[in-house]
A and B are shown apart, each in its own frame.
Chain A
Amino acid sequence: MAGVSGPESAPDPRPAAAPPSFEELFLPLVDNAFRLALSLVRNASEAEDLVQEAALAAYRSFASFTPGTNFKAWFYRILINRHYYRYRRERGRPVAVELEEAPELYLFNRTAELGLHRGDGDPAELLMRKMTSDHVRRAIASLPRDFRIPVGLFFLEELSYEAIATVVGCPVGTVRSRLHRGRRMLQKALWKIAEETGIVRQLTPEEAPA
């Protein structure tokens, strides 16, 4: 998990190394920052814009980052704030969001209904191998924003509840609840995509090849 340090070592007799530069800390995050941005905005071009803006904002305020603390959490907070800022006007319009809560073990039960638990294959793999990265991206992007962000951060960076709470600025208990409910909603969203794209039909026993 983020922030875990290695074993203690003897004090280094050399002069203390300079703290890592912004580029050293930030460049390893570019891909995941883009992936998270992609789940927040409408397309790759907007995702690129968002990451670039966030990188610039972070660079400009790098003096406020305390070396040795969680850079990922610090940067993602900036990225999410930039996202909120850009879409502030859209936030003003009340949107009736149908919070479609999903029960637990949603995909487990759907795949069991298809008979996928009976054979030798792993039912989760049997379903997921037919789904693409774009299906997954779309499913996450379809979640309400409050759930999209903890879910996105969990899958991309494996951040702890505390780190995610720092990023989104809400209590740890809220993060935990949204992450768990969000994962269930994600399963339901993925199933909907699997139905719409014919994947469920392909997996249905009478359609399966002999």
Chain B
Amino acid sequence: MSATDLLTCEETFRRLDLYLDRALSHEEKRQVEAHLETCAACAAEYRFESTWLEEVRSKLQRIEATPTLRERIAASLAGVADAPRE
């Protein structure tokens, strides 16, 4: 890897949000991960943010729709289907 491939800590940090969004190009992602392999401080920050994100996501996924919601929806769609077309 040439010197121009190596990211600084600041450059790596600036890419954190895009990394979490999976919006980096393949090449940029490779460069970030190469830096993280050699820099414990940046790796800790990336790891924290990634873990936090997954935790938030998994807690949100545990919220269940109310049991009656699907029935209500099915009933109202059936009502539309039976009604004359608008």
- Binary B-proximity of A84-113 (CB < 8 A = 1, otherwise 0): 000000000000000000001101100100
- B86: interface (CB < 8 Å): yes
Contacts of A124 in B (CB 8 A): 47-49, 51-52, 55
Of B23, B44, B86, which one neighbours A60 at CB under 8 angstroms?
B86
Contact B59 A108 (CB under 8 A): no
Among the listed B57, B59, B61, B73, which residue makes an inter-chain contact with A132, where contact means beta carbons less than 8 Å apart? B59
In this assembly, does B10 line the interface, its C-beta being within 8 Å of a C-beta of chain A? no
* Contact A30-B56, Cβ < 8 Å, known A55-B76, A55-B77: no
User: Is A133 a contact of B63 with CB atoms below 8 Å?
Assistant: yes
If over half of B's interface residues share one DSSP class (helix, strand or loop), that class is named, otherwise mixed; here it is helix
Given contacts A108-B45, A128-B52, A128-B55, contact A56 B62 (CB under 8 A): no
Could you say which residues of chain A place their CB within 8 Å of the CB of B26?
A: none
- Chain A interface size, as a band, is 35 or more
Interface centre among B20, B52, B61, B62 (most CB of A within 10 A): B52
Q: How far is the CA of A52 from the CA of B77 in the complex (A)?
A: 9
B52 touches A107 (CB 8 A): yes
| Interface pair B80/A186, CB less than 8 Å apart | no
Do residues A52 and B59 form an inter-chain contact, with CB atoms below 8 A?
no
Q: In the complex where A56-B76, A124-B48, A161-B21 touch, is A34 in contact with B56 (Cβ < 8 A)?
A: no
Q: Are A133 and B80 interface neighbours, CB within 8 A?
A: no
Would you call A149 an interface residue if the criterion is a C-beta within 8 Å of the partner chain's C-beta atoms? no
Q: Is B1 an interface residue (CB 8 A)?
A: no
Judge whether B66 and A133 touch: CB under 8 Å.
Answer: no
Q: Which of B20, B56, B77 is most buried by chain A, counting CB atoms within 10 A of its CB?
A: B56
Bound-complex Cα distance A128 to B50 (A): 12
A207 to B22, CA, bound (A): 39
Partner of B59, one of A30, A44, A133: A133
Min C-beta distance of B64 to chain A, whole Å: 7
- Excluding A48-B68, A135-B59, A180-B17, 17 further A-B contacts by CB distance (< 8 Å) are A22-B77, A30-B73, A31-B63, A34-B63, A34-B66, A48-B66, A51-B65, A56-B73, A60-B80, A108-B49, A117-B44, A122-B48, A129-B55, A133-B62, A140-B60, A176-B23, A183-B53
Interface, chain B (partner A; CB < 8 A): 13, 16-17, 20-23, 44-45, 47-49, 51-53, 55-57, 59-66, 68-70, 72-73, 76-77, 80, 86
